């Protein structure tokens, strides 16, 4: 079953060090159109509102020595049984009962990611998931179904 298995966000007022992505686990979240996860300091960018990854990809990266606990790859939402890395820009996903997100582009990472993981970006190219924007808001929860919309 394709479902959400992890939701994390960066809350306001909490400092992160240059050597880690500070993320807080959530059981549920409210997705806001044009922003991302409600209360997320990473939200609000016009096209980069969510970082979404596949559980299966994270499992593979863990076996290669990457830090993959929730949020350690800089992701915000992890989906089980969906090849997120292969979703084309423009693909829409329904998360839970009402929220809809649209894939903007593949996620490429940055120098900070490489420093935190202590690995070159070349090791994860094509495996970092996607950047998406929120088209229709709504509450999402761990365990909610995910559908690829036509």
**Rounded distance between C-alpha atoms, residue 141 and residue 120, angstroms:** 33
- Contact 52/101 with Cβ under 8 angstroms? yes
**Rounded distance between C-alpha atoms, residue 104 and residue 90, angstroms:** 6
Structural domains in the chain, CATH included, are 3-149 (2.40.33.20)
Judge whether residue 49 has pLDDT over 90. Answer: yes
pTM listed for this prediction: 0.94
pLDDT range class, residue 150, cuts 50, 70, 90? confident
Least Cα distance to 74 among 31, 119, 117 occurs for 117
Sign of CA dihedral 137, 139, 142, 148: negative
Q: Of residues 21 and 29, which shows the higher confidence score?
A: 29
Q: Of residues 111 and 40, which shows the higher confidence score?
A: 40
Summarize the confidence of residues 49-75 as an average pLDDT: 94
pLDDT range class, residue 137, cuts 50, 70, 90? very high
């Amino acid at each position: 079953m394709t479902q959400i298995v992890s939701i994390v966000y960066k809350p306001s007022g909490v400092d992160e060090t240059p050597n880690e992505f500070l993320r807080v686990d959530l059981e549920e979240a409210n997705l806001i159109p044009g922003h991302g996860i409600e209360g997320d300091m990473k939200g609000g960018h016009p096209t980069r509102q969510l970082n979404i990854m596949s559980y299966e990809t994270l499992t593979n990266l863990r076996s290669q020595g990457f830090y993959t606990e929730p949020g350690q790859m800089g992701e915000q939402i992890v989906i089980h049984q969906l090849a997120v890395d292969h979703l084309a820009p423009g693909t829409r996903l329904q998360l839970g009962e009402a929220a809809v997100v649209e894939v903007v582009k593949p996620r490429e990472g940055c120098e900070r990611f490489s420093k935190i993981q202590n690995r070159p970006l070349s090791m994860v190219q094509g495996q970092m998931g996607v950047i998406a924007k929120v088209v229709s808001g709504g509450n999402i929860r761990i365990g909610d179904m995910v559908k690829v919309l036509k």
